[in-house]
Amino acid sequence: MVDKKTATRALTGKRQMHSTFEGLRCKYDTGLAVWDAPTTKEWKPVPGLFSAWSAEDYFDTSGYNRDYLTTMPFSVFMQEAGRCGITSPGNTRIIALDLVTEQRVTNLADLANDILGLAPFGNGIGAMIPSFNDSTDDWSQVLYGRYREFTGLTQGTTVQDVFVPTNDNSFGSLEPTTNDKLWITRLIIVLGIPLGAIDSTLRFPNSRFVMQIDVVKEEELAFMMRQKRSYELTNY
């Protein structure tokens, strides 16, 4: 049992954590009218959906929590290497949702349907995105969120395979946390069906999540109240 008054295994101070994701690449088979499996292992098809894929990882903050320290994020951002697009795209769009949350996101199919406006209930498109109206997460549990939509760049009268962002919204609380894990969730959705005589390929670039934190030793009461609040949000 660690003595919380003398524990020194985890150092306090500023840190930078990162997690890298492979790019998403998969092909649409025009003859079979289906998307093939992604070529990278990190990405998985979302069960029950025709054109949605997800990937996840986590930042391990358990060492700080075991030593009764608090993780205080002060910046979360993404780095991406390359561009996204669909060859022979037809009338398609790409939707990307990226999250860093205290709780693991498990309702991916419902979340994707909500984003697409297909959910049979709710308070409008995006209401089930963690921290919003119909989600089960409090705003404080979502440290970072980013929602983007991409559409094909038109040159002349033809939509090309280079996609550009038409919507880029960020949200999140950057709330101090005592969780053991901070979950990273990526959700990519293709809206529409590629149209063309040849097979289309979806490409989304390699990326990196970077979280800058300050690890601090709080007063005992403040730390215990934070633990209590985290427990209540997780179990009620």
Query: What pTM value is reported for the model?
Result: 0.89
Question: Which residue has 């601090």 as its token pair?
Answer: 216
Q: Are strands 85-86 and 200-204 parallel, antiparallel or unpaired?
A: antiparallel
pLDDT of residue 2: 43
Q: How many residues does the chain have?
A: 236
Q: For residue 149, give Cα distances in angstroms to 27, 66, 84, 118, 157.
A: 20, 40, 11, 17, 21
What are the residue boundaries of the structural domains of the chain, listed by start?
22-59+80-205
Residue pair 26/38 in contact by the 8 Å Cβ criterion: yes
Contacts of 25 (CB under 8 A, 6+ apart): 38, 39, 40, 201, 202, 203, 204
Q: Are strands 34-35 and 24-29 parallel, antiparallel or unpaired?
A: antiparallel
How confident is the prediction along the chain (236 residues), in pLDDT tens digits per residue? Answer: 344 454 456 688 999 999 999 999 999 988 888 999 998 889 999 998 989 999 999 999 999 988 889 999 999 999 999 999 998 888 899 999 999 999 999 999 999 999 988 766 666 678 889 999 888 888 999 999 999 999 988 777 777 788 999 999 999 999 999 899 999 999 999 999 887 767 899 999 999 999 999 999 988 878 888 777 777 766 65
Q: For residue 44, give Cα distances in angstroms to 8, 56, 108, 142, 174.
A: 40, 10, 11, 23, 28
Helix (H) or strand (E) holding 182: strand 181-191
165 phi/psi in degrees, rounded to 5: -70, 130
Taking alpha carbons only, the member of 6, 7, 36, 17 closest to residue 177 is: 17
**What span, in angstroms and rounded, lies between the C-alpha atoms of 142 and 137?**
7
What does the buried/exposed string (b/e) look like for 92-108 if buried means 16 or more CB atoms within 10 Å of the residue's CB?
bbbbbbbbbbbbebeeb
